[in-house]
Structure 1
Amino acid sequence: MAPHSVIPLALSFFVSLSINPTLPSSLINELNQPPPPDFRAIIANNCLKDPSLRYCNSAATDITNIYKSIVVARHLCTESNNSDCNVSFTKIDLRFRPKVAPLYLSFAFFWKYCPLSVLSIDLSNNSLEGPFPSDVLHCTQIHSLDISLNKLDGTVPLENFTLLSNLSFLNLSCNHFSEGNIEEIAFFERFNSSSFLHSGLFPSDHHYGFKVTTTILLLIGVLVSVVSVVGCFGWVFVRRPDLLPSFLRRSHKFTVAMLKKVTDGFSEDNLVSRGERGEIYKGRLRDGLEVEIKVQRGRISAESHRVFDEECRVLVQLRHKNLVKVLGWCDQRELRAVVMERMWVCSVEGWLLGSPPWKQRLKVSMGVVEAMCYLQEQWPSIGYDLRTRNVMMTEDSEPLLLKLKFGDQSTQSRNIYKFGLFLLGLVTNKHPHEAFEGGEIGFLDWVSMHYPGHEKKVIDEKMKLTSTTYKQIKQTIDIGLACTDLSAGHPPTISHIYSSLHKVVHLL
């Protein structure tokens, strides 16, 4: 009787023992059981029918391992998806089974009594490690053997392959075997080079492996370097654009990280003032430029973010020697800030405490009116604050309008009125809201009460007067009162004020 007609007789016997063909735990449990009482008689009967069965020569002394081999065969047949294990067991297919394949390879008793019906063995793609599984070569009748795409190493028993006389397909590729004398064994001439590609059996494989490893390491190194550079560049671009070359910086845009760096983490040492509308900090940019930063915190609506952004885009475009220079802004979810160049040393209010000469006061008034002319002609939507505490002074005694507001609804007449108060403040060195009960009205009534006739009572007593400066001051008071005369139907224009002050400056 043919071999593969005898083995099913042995396998069918174990069906009556309710063998579970799928679970390794069930397999292990069965292997721990002793053979059935009549198992020896069944084996003897099978060997009478077919003496070529592998276990026949050992049936008398190794009955336990023979039983175990048949148990494993039954499970492995089903595990390998054979069509009908009650009839035939032709293939061992454990491809892509890294958890199961090592278990079945460990059953040396199975491979020793490998069923003669098995014609192909496929153990590929399992990441198997260690030496070549020599036990599989006990299946000398096989036609196909595939152990490719694993991590096997060491020496391959090449001479033992010659016992596989029916072998027509062999794949040992993609492993890490030691170099062997495979070219000297005639048996392997029946296979082409693809059977041993990158197996390690040929000298070229080791050179290739070295080249591949070197290439991969180089590629990984380059990739890591590129990713690191891109990552760092991206971090810098997003968090600290001030660290980028000037041509890569986002114009006028500041980040919270940049502001923290400039202000030393918004430290109290750099805090200038704190109020209901926010905080003001001083700091220094990387290029050494001193700045002042107005900060507002808290969430606002999307529309408010849009308005803030639009306002800042306008303010950074202003260019005049008597306007504060807005360098940029930061607009984040819970923090908004405007960054200005800090060119001033004090306010006009503080500057007047030093009793500057009239010539310098007149220069300040001209600087302010020139800034007003610039805004009126080119940026009429920009409002400003002309109180002496909010007009700053540079080291060169140039005034700077500090508080600018985009979209301010102040009319030209209102701006003229504010300038009149500023001008009279330069003459008197008085603060309308502090020195007079009636505020601005009380201040103007006080000036009007003494002028003309007793103008010396309103002129800053600390100023040294000459006949020329006295005339200039009187004309300046005239201009100031004209600007603040609300009863006049048509107040003077900014250009008229500029012309009048220009004449005062050049008065001989």
Structure 2
Amino acid sequence: MEGNLFTGMIPTCFGKFQKMQGLYLYGNKLSGIIPSSIGNLTQLAVLFLSQNNLEGSIPPSIGTCQSLQQLDVSQNHLSGVIPQQVFQIFSLSLLLNLSHNSFSGKLPVEIDSLKNINSLDVSKNNFSGEIPATIGNCLNLVYLGLHGNSFNGTIPSSMASLKSLEYLDVSRNNLSGLIPKGLEKLSFLKYLNISFNNIEGEVPIEGVFRNVNMISVIGNNKLCGGIPQLQLPTCHKVTKSRKSLASRLTITIVCVITCILLVSTFLVLYWRKKSKKKPSSIVSNIDLLPTISYKMLHQATNGFSLNNLIGSGSFGVVYKGVLEQDERLVAVKVLNLQNKDASKSFMAECNVLRNVRHRNLIKILTCCSSINYNGDDFKALVFEFMTNGSLEMWLHPMTDNDNQSKNLSILQRLIIAIDVAFALNYLHNHCEQKIIHCDLKPSNILLDSDMIAHVSDFGLSRLLTTSNDSSQKCTSTIGLKGSIGYAAPEYGIGGEASTEGDVYSYGVLVLEMFTGRRPTDDMFKDGLNLHNFVKMSLPKRLIQVVDPMLLAREVEEMGVATAAMMATKEDDNDNEIEVEEANNTEDFRHIDVDMQKCLLSILNIGILCSLESPKERINMEEVIKELQLIKSTFVGLGIRRSRPSRAQRLGTTRRD
């Protein structure tokens, strides 16, 4: 029953199917708890409950399922500690997947009871404590995922006993100490990720450590050595000379005291100078801002009232508020700190927005890192409020409220597309460090009172530094790289974040703006996507592709009367473009050839940006030139037809 839309709870009567050997419920919308009656299924070999909305914990009764070989409860909302009974299922030999939940506590030392387990994944939970050394007794392990938790201590040296291990990921924890030398002797190990911990010392150079594509060690600032491609500092051996050590210690102490005195003097002078000045108004650079208090944000949002809630996402929720100081409307983005990546998203967004200035980027006013009234950690970002909401609201308005009256014209959509292109071009080509947005989509495009577009939500963004070797890149952010439908295809196979990836997302955005279809529409399956759908339809079925709401508005504004079921007009090259019925209704309208050319050119730009190969996509500077030419044509300023744009040439060569 996997991969459906089943809702509600798992029926307890399933426990009566005592001869059942496999239960597949993954990929639904089931909620509630896992019923304890599952324990009655003593012949069960496979239990797959992943990708649902299940809560609670794993029932201890599962320990009676002594035939169970595969257990997958990943990607739910399960919590609590893992019942000891799970580690008493000695038949569990193929898979135990608890990832992407909220399990807590320590990983029990009894884990070695699963001596025959092949794949163990407990990543993206809230586990803490040390990784038990007994895990080295699970000699048949091939896949071991421990990343995205709060494990501390060292990487157990006993892992060197896992001779069959092919995949090991302990990244994004609080591990310290040295890399066990024994790991380089694991001949089958093909992937090792120890990034974003506090691991130190020398990186081995044998085994898996010989291939830079098989390991990741970034985010450990005290590592040294390793193969040259890692570009880590050279390891320096500690001198045994007591005299030399004493002299170094003396010099260090003197330097520290001197620095403290200098910093103290500077701070005193700075605060004296600042106190003489009149307090300045809020500025956008977060380094120069006093952080706003939790109390002020609580008051500004009426206690974070649901009436003030204007949006939500994976990393938090957004409230509308009014700051009492100047009665300024603001948007307050409150981070969901239960999501382990939210704090990293907070830092990524701060690092980007404090260094950028552009009319088409959202402006950060201040931030808050404090404690709420319940004594819990609280982080929030405060932005300018965008009165016209998101582009998502305009492209896909709700039908059960007054938003349904919203409808953007061709020119408005074109201007918004140009605004977004300017923002991306600035991030890619005109910042001190290249910035990759990584999550461009309509909900992250906000519109102010003048309908000027502002790119927002930099929680997934990359600060990209390129060395002399263009292949060596350093990115700093969390592991995600975009939303389904908008993320570039190369990201799906582990490709690094790139400006070309942003261009792909932009191309999908343009196609969505002018077709009215989301890239996640149910029609896009079996290899068909929005890019292919538009490409196959142009130029003959142009009107079938373009958003019917857009055409209806344009026809109404132009005063074009109802026409025949199908009409054709010739362009300047004597090529016919069919104008078929819009939205398959009896109200058959047609638009003139000039507007058809504009729409065709715009859609072709979307196609050029969303090509599968990153190298074939055009860059944002070329996109801006193309769109401005189209805009000039649309508003009647005229362009020289002897120099057709690349998008226009592409449209011409595709015609039959």
- Normalised to the residue count of structure 1, the TM-score between the two structures is 0.47
Name whichever structure is richer in strand by fraction: 2
The structure with the larger Rg is: 1
- Normalised to the residue count of structure 2, the TM-score between the two structures is 0.37
If asked which structure has higher relative contact order (CA below 8 Å, sep 6+), I would say: 1
Name whichever structure is richer in helix by fraction: 1
